[in-house]
Amino acid sequence: MNLLVLGGGGREHAIIRKLKENPKVNNIFALPGNGGISYDARCENISAMDLDQVIDFALKNRIDFAVVGPDDPLAKGAADRLREAGIPAFGPSAAAAAIESSKVFAKELMKKYNIPTADYRVFDSAAAAISYAEALGRFPVVVKADGLALGKGVIIAESPEEAVHAIHGIMTERIFGDSGNRVVIEEYLTGPEVSVLAFTDSVTLIPMVSSMDHKRALDGDRGPNTGGMGTIAPNPFYTDEIAARCMKEIFMPTISAMNQEGRPFSGCLYFGLMLTETGPKVIEYNCRFGDPEAQVVLPLLETDLLTVMEAVTQKRLSDISVSFRKGSACCVIAASGGYPGKYETGFPIKGLSDGQLPGVSVFHAGTKRTEDGPVTAGGRVLGVTGTGDTLKEAAAQAYAAMENICFSGMHYRKDIGEKALQAT
């Protein structure tokens, strides 16, 4: 079989490594892929957003099955276009991807179908949002741009001044462009956060092993928000009891809500949850695998990934069982100096081959292949995943592998998994 994967981050590298395990797979193509992916798949310099070129490439290369990794091509209709061209594609339609690409859509869906989430208000004018924020008695409050904003569209405002500043940034200065046409102002929730990725064909939903992201740049959950500096799986806060409750109160109601709205969701649905004192609530939905959640969840997947993805696209997920190995995984992200702010690229990455310890995978995110070896090419450069029977073992493996790797300016958090270890 010839497979096509759209995207070029650590998530796509983890997906490709897993797809490669299937003996039916002859070729994997990645658009555009990255330096590390180019050792596992054939990369072509075509943007996943250039859908005309993507379809042309897929037809020319006789693609049998496609996987769309990132949110923006999904929101643009990449999966629809592939299916229209006769190519089975894993990923939701643009209509279903609205669950991530519009926070207003997601909030209204949850309200209409009684899915637990933070209380909120939507505003389409800065003046109205500002007078609402100024009159609020309780802080912090959460200000969110409606549309996609590279994971940066959420601001926790500690005071009316900070809320006004955030609203101005989003709606007046338009720092996220059209994503800031509307804002959501919502109640600040507290409690442990859990990410649950689930396979769904719009009828059956199978949750994957739970995980925990570490979004802040610095140890101890300090510093600015990032795309994710590390993950662990499973998440110890997510007990069997909470899982059963989420299935009943959140996961299945979401699937049925999307069906009732005429936007059946098929692919990987990501539930960003907060376990509050009054029960689990949805913080956000994503219409795809999380990054770097995929880098801990997929290494623990025992069932063949292509088999599961085919069952999803053929709407027969209920026919198969999906299992995860017992044990844990821990992914630590190596980032460029300065990330999530400004950073330089083009630095040689040393020690990658020595990084290969048993149970360790090095997934590339922002890297480029050159004649002299891989160099840095993005903010998040590598995701080093360790696996083991326990989280402690998995984290020790990831950090041991990280010790061998270096590039100029490299920084990584030293405490990925510590919060989870303290909870156990």
Residues forming the site for ligand GLY (CB under 6 A)? 151, 213, 228, 286, 290-291, 293
Q: What is the smallest separation between the CB atom of 297 and ligand AMP, expressed in angstroms?
A: 17
Q: Is 279 exposed, middle or buried (0-12, 13-18, 19+ CB in 10 A)?
A: middle
Output the residue with the shortest Cβ distance to ligand AMP.
284
User: Which of ligand AMP, ligand GLY, none has residue 189 at its interface (CB below 5 to 8 Å by kind)?
Assistant: ligand AMP
Give the nearer residue to ligand AMP in terms of CB position, either 39 or 188. 188
Tell me which of ligand GLY, ligand AMP, none is bound by residue 72, counting a contact when its beta carbon lies within the kind-specific cut-off of 5 to 8 angstroms: none
CB of 105 to ligand AMP, least distance (A): 14
Question: Smallest distance, Å, CB 75 to ligand GLY?
Answer: 13
Output the CA–CA distances (angstroms, integers) from residue 106 to 55, 101, 249, 337, in the order listed: 29, 9, 16, 35
Does residue 140 have a cis bond before it (omega within 30 degrees)? Answer: yes
Which among 10-18, 186-194, 256-264, 395-403 is the span making contact with ligand AMP, rule CB under 6 A?
186-194
Report how far residue 133's alpha carbon sits from residue 136's, in angstroms, rounded to the nearest whole number: 5
Q: Which of residues 57-76 bind ligand AMP (CB under 6 A)?
A: none
Instruction: State which residue, 250 or 362, has the beta carbon closest to ligand AMP.
Output: 250
In the list ligand GLY, ligand AMP, none, the entry touching 290 (Cβ below 5 to 8 angstroms by class) is: ligand GLY
Among the listed residues 30, 164, 189, 398, the single contact to ligand AMP using CB under 6 A:
189
Q: Which amino acid is at 276?
A: T
- Report how far residue 196's alpha carbon sits from residue 207's, in angstroms, rounded to the nearest whole number: 7
Smallest separation, CB 377 to ligand AMP (Å)? 24
Three-state DSSP state, 399:
helix
Q: 224: cis peptide before it, omega within 30°?
A: no
Exposed (0-12), middle (13-18) or buried (19+): which is 122, by Cβ within 10 Å?
A: middle
Between 174 and 215, name the residue whose CB sits nearer to ligand AMP.
215
CA atoms of 75 and 25, how far apart (whole Å): 28
Cα separation, 108 vs 261, in Å, equals: 11
Shortest distance (Å) from residue 383 CB to ligand GLY: 11
Q: Residue type for 249, please?
A: E
Q: Which is nearer to ligand AMP, 88 or 169 (CB)?
A: 169
129 binds ligand AMP (CB under 6 A): no
Q: Binding partner of residue 310 among ligand GLY, ligand AMP, none, CB under 5 to 8 Å per kind? A: none
**Cα of 328 vs its chain's centroid, Å:** 19
Residue 193 in the binding site for ligand AMP (CB under 6 A): yes
| Total interface residues for ligand AMP by CB under 6 A | 13
Residue 409: CB atoms within 10 A of its CB come to 16
Tell me the C-alpha distance between 150 and 263, whole Å.
24
With respect to ligand GLY, which residue has the nearer C-beta, 77 or 151?
151
What's the rounded Cα separation, in Å, for the pair 64 and 67? 11
Q: DSSP character for 170? A: I
Give the SS3 label for residue 151. Answer: coil
Q: Select the binding partner of residue 201 from ligand GLY, ligand AMP, none (C-beta < 5 to 8 A, by kind).
A: none
Query: Considering beta carbons, is residue 154 or 391 the nearer one to ligand AMP?
Result: 154
Q: What is the rounded (10 degree) CA torsion for 125, 128, 132, 134?
A: 100
Residue 382 contact among ligand GLY, ligand AMP, none, beta carbon within 5 to 8 Å by kind: none
Q: Is position 154 an interface residue for ligand AMP (rule: CB under 6 A)?
A: yes
Residue with structure tokens 């098929």?
A: 266
Asked whether position 228 contacts ligand AMP by CB under 6 A, the answer is: no
Nearer to ligand AMP, 29 or 271 (CB): 271
| Position among 77, 88, 151, 359 found at the interface with ligand AMP (CB under 6 A) | 151
Question: Residue 366 binds which entry of ligand GLY, ligand AMP, none, with Cβ cut-offs from 5 to 8 Å by kind?
Answer: none
Pick what 39 binds: ligand GLY, ligand AMP, none; C-beta below 5 to 8 Å, kind-dependent. Answer: none
Alpha-carbon gap, residue 58 to 78, rounded angstroms? 12
Could you write out the three-class secondary structure of 218-266?
ECCCEEEECCCCEEEECCCCCCHHHHHHHHHHHHHHHHHHHHHCCCCCC
Interaction partner, residue 193 (ligand GLY, ligand AMP, none; CB < 5-8 Å by kind)? ligand AMP
Smaller CB distance to ligand GLY: residue 12 or 291? 291
Selection from ligand AMP, ligand GLY, none that 228 binds (CB < 5 to 8 A by kind) is ligand GLY
Residues of this chain that bind ligand AMP (CB under 6 A): 118, 142, 151, 154, 186-189, 193, 215, 272, 283-284
